[in-house]
Structure 1
Amino acid sequence: MKLNTPRWWYSRDRRHAPVARMLLKPASWIWAGVTARRIASAAPVDPGAPVVSIGNLTVGGSGKTPIAREVLRLLHAQGIKAAALSRGYGGTLQGPVQVDLAVHTAADVGDEPLMLAQDAPAWIARDRTAGARAAVAAGAEALVLDDAHQNPALRKTLSLIVVDGETRGDEWPFGDGSVFPSGPMREPLKAGLARADAVVILLPADLAEADPELVATFDALPVFIARLEPAAAPPSGPQVGFAGIAKPWKVERSLIAAGCDLKDFVPFPDHAALTERDFALLTDRAALFDAGLVTTEKDWVRLPPEWRGRIRAWPVLARFEEEARFAEFLTAALIRRPHVSSSTS
């Protein structure tokens, strides 16, 4: 059973849900210890091509996949044949297999690989090393790993940390710093940043700038600002929205900020596969308001074919504020590697 992300995870106020935090602390210490030992004992493999890791320090909800998609676009613009590599969370296939949009569904390969495959070759593999070797053998000159900061299987040329920059009120991307399950952190902040080469702060389109306090958190690491921008206006007329992502409340905020006449919003757990009961609920809510149904692109690709014609997808894209600066930083790291052809330098 999938559970909704606790809002209190992202509060810096330790008084929020104090009993839950206290009871879950021992499990957090175990989680952090296992993660640290796994990373320290690993012997990363060089797959024969540069590896760009797109990761984060929290459990979901930072915007890794849109950033991975944009990194792929920028690499292709530089003439580098880059491929995405994911473990295919939510899918049944073990891989290695290249995602085929005409054949595979989210039930096969997961929702995020389907999104990445719209713009670039995308591979899924539970075994990252096997997946990387398969992608390189198929012609990939660089690999973009989606959600891999805590996976030490491959030697990384560049490790980017994506941070949710939407801090409002008491909300903070790292909560009070507690590790899962008493907080959102996958590992302690200091440990995760020690393996990073740069930080990408991802902002919503309606937030003027990144919180200076958040930027200062990353000390000497390069920080790049990116924004989630709607690829199109929300559907016209009254709408009922829904989303099954780690922070569904962000989708609700974004739809309203983009001018959507949002009458109601229904949150679901991250990567949730909706049931007929869920669809009945959504249909009833839409009928109550004489409204259409709208969701994220990530949720839409998980819908059964019979529902895709009845529900509108609202896609968003990540774009860097200083795109030229980021592209230079990205390609400079890769062209130092002998695996990338000289035509890209």
Structure 2
Amino acid sequence: MGASEDLIEAFVADLRQLRRAVGQPSFRDLETHARKAGSHLPASTASDAVRGRRLPKPGVVIAFVSACRHYAEKNGIPVPERARETYSWQDAWAKALAGLDEGEKVRKPPARETPSSDPRSGPSERRNRWWIPERQRCSYLLIGSSTAGSRHAPLYGVPRDCERMSAAVRAAAPWMSLTMLLDPTNQEAHDEIRRAMAAPWELLVVHVVGHGYLNESARLSLIMKDSQEDNLLQTSVDLQGLLSQAERRSQERAVILIVDTSFAGAAIPSTPPTLSNWFVLAATEAHGLAYEWAGEDGEGSFTGVLAHLLNNGIAASPYPLVTMMDLARESSEAILLRDSSGRQKVTWSGTTSIEALALACNHAK
């Protein structure tokens, strides 16, 4: 057995052990109790997860653990410590993924369609979609969380990257109303998001940086310093729900969500919202991990790359302004240059109407 098989076997062996610890429920029982716990876990998927053929997807792991916990609770079986939260399982999954050989990584979901227009095409090809929101009604909310409770090491690059991004936005888009929150509590972050959503902005950009985990419902969440690992659903920022919140406020506004966390691509909705203009730019795919890169120019993480692009401009673009597609494509190329192993892949999606959003000045040198 090779090193990759060993990594997968060690991980799924822990899942099998957890199942035994709660009384060896059948896979059909796990399907039933996953549903009662608010998750989705077909019996066949639960069976595949513990066979060791491949690393199960993180959403499957969370549903499996939740089902075991619910089964134990309903049958009077003491709940094992490792069934009480999913933090440690996601950490173990990330370590296993990072150690796999390139050809044996977790299978990626089908790539989502991305806007097809080329941001370098001529003005005549984009004239119907080139637009600039009313500049006095544009807001940028930047939330950075460098701490994630007592069990996780601080992300020391988050404050630096947020400061750099803040300065870059002020220089490239001085018309933006910029709010930056560093290490807020869960309540403080939610209060600021609600205020931003309630205001009559024509364009709202929400940019989050920090630890990304999947909560008990397998939804992507930003972990705050006071998040509770056994209750992520109520004590973290639900990133998948941000577009839904904006949708309820106004369907006419433009909303951009920039996510710099692991599993960031999970913030892209599987069912597009009814918002007229929306765009999600994610540091990595739905089942991918985000890393920090110590480049010579100090760009660091995905947020650092975006700040660098805003500061230095995009030379290949013939336009005086930077669009969302410029940032999406250029940041993707920049990450690929830093990560030759292909572990981190930028992804994005949104409405075609926002492809050519004039977000900031192009400071190409």
Q: Normalising by the residue count of structure 2, what TM-score does the alignment of the two structures yield?
A: 0.27
Q: Normalising by the residue count of structure 1, what TM-score does the alignment of the two structures yield?
A: 0.28
Q: Which has the higher contact order (CA 8 A, sep 6+)?
A: 1
Instruction: Considering fraction of residues, name the structure with more strand.
Output: 1
